[in-house]
Amino acid sequence: MTLLTLWLLSVLIFAGGHILPGNVGRAMLGPFADPTAVEVLNHQMGTDRPVLVQYADWIAGFVTGDMGESYAYRSPVAPFLITALLNSAKLAAVAFVLVVPLGILGGVVAALHRGKAADRVLSVVGLSATVVPEFVSGIVLILIFGVWLDWFPISATWRDGAGPFTQLYHLILPSIPLVLILFGYIARMARAGMIEALDADYTRTAVLKGLSYRQVIWRHVLRNALLPTISVVATQIVYLIGGLVVIEILFRYQGIGSLIYTAAKKKDFPMLQAGVMAIGGLFALTTLLADLLYARLNPRIRFGGRE
């Protein structure tokens, strides 16, 4: 099923790219280049062949692990893709580690103080932060912490050979806009789950049988409350890795988002295909993992087993 989805994705991208006007040689050399030069370039790259032949060629390489050569950079796609994926994973990890505990904590606190000031403040702040676009929060953060206070580097790209701590230092500023966007979302899910669990019969039972408040929250409420949050967080992982074009451009970071964006702009199909397939694969993988984790935490949806 997953493979079928990925295959359809590859067909869609290929077809979409070829329906749009403009050919590859033209995109490389620009509108003012000599037609002969464009023709020669298309011939060199094989982009003057029928689309189906090009697709067959690409898919034949892809299934054997050969992602082809970038039209723009005239060198294999794989190193570009690996670097970009690795970079994106690092940024996503930093943002993830910051936002998940914060978001859950915020949701839990809000739920425990339902209707009181803390709840309102958290909801309003979380919601407001969610609607601020990354390019606005990013520029404000750079101006305050990069230009005026000079606490953090403006560029997320570190120098060659930088250690993990330097890398982390470079990634803190760009991860904050992502934290701002996701915090409200995760907190809201966690709050809703908490409230539902707090009102549930088993919670009343737990309280009535004399368990301490702490025990009730930890052993009965949280475990049930966080189930929906897990699937929400899982779907956000793909966004954190592949959807950060704006952040990557603003903070000068070579991630998978800007890799796909520039490849699409330049009609660099091998690069575009590889990038989209990587994101598609990642999406399938995280969804699967989230389902497994959900099943692990929630025995009710397990098939067959009766524990």
Give the one residue of 8, 12, 35, 289 binding another protein; rule: CB under 8 A: 35
Site for another protein in 176-235 (CB under 8 A): none
Indicate the residue type of 299.
P
Contact 140, 128 (CB under 8 A): no
Quick check: 72 and 271 in contact, CB under 8 A? Answer: yes
List 96, 251, 269, 283, residue binding another protein (CB under 8 A): 251
One character per residue 136-155, x = contact with another protein (rule: CB under 8 A): ---x--xx--xx--x--xxx
Nearer to another protein, 11 or 37 (CB): 37
User: Would you call 183 exposed, middle or buried from its count of C-beta atoms within 10 A (0-12, 13-18, 19+)?
Assistant: buried
Using H for helix, E for strand and C for coil, what is the string for 15-66? Answer: HHHHHCCCCHHHHHHCCCCCHHHHHHHHHHHCCCCCHHHHHHHHHHHHHCCC
Give the integer Cα–Cα distance in Å for 33 and 20: 19
Smallest separation (angstroms) from another protein to the CB of 130:
23
Position 19 contacts another protein (CB under 8 A): no
Q: Which CA distances in Å does 232 have to 100, 182, 226?
A: 11, 10, 10
The beta strand positions in 171-213, using DSSP E, are none
Shortest separation between residue 109's beta carbon and another protein, angstroms = 35
Q: Which residue in the set 3, 19, 36, 163 belongs to the binding site for another protein (CB under 8 A)? A: 36
- Binding segment (CB under 8 A) for another protein, from list 1-9, 29-37, 116-124, 161-169: 29-37
Give 33 or 97: the residue with its C-beta nearer to another protein: 33
- To another protein, the closest distance from the beta carbon of 248 in angstroms equals 8
Tokens coding 170 = 């470079």
Contact between 133 and another protein (CB under 8 A)? no
> Which region, judged by CB under 8 A, interacts with another protein, from 70-78, 163-171, 205-213, 274-282?
70-78
3-state secondary structure of 160: coil
Judged by the rule CB under 8 A, the positions of this chain that interact with another protein are: 20-23, 25-41, 44, 72-75, 80, 139, 142-143, 146-147, 150, 153-155, 157, 248-252, 254, 258, 262, 265-267
